[in-house]
Amino acid sequence: MIAALTLHLHLPACASLKQKRGRIKPLISRLHREFNVSVAEMDLQDKWDETLIVCAMVGNDVAFLQSALGNVATWVEANWSDGDVWESGIELYG
pTM here? 0.92
Under 8 Å between Cβ of 39 and 53 = yes
Ordered structural domains, the chain, with CATH: 2-93 (3.30.70.1120)
pLDDT mean over 52-71:
97
Average pLDDT of 9-35? Answer: 93
Q: What is the mean pLDDT of residues 74-94?
A: 93
Q: Quickly count: other Cβ atoms within 10 Å of residue 4's Cβ.
A: 18
Residue 30 has pLDDT above 90, yes or no: yes
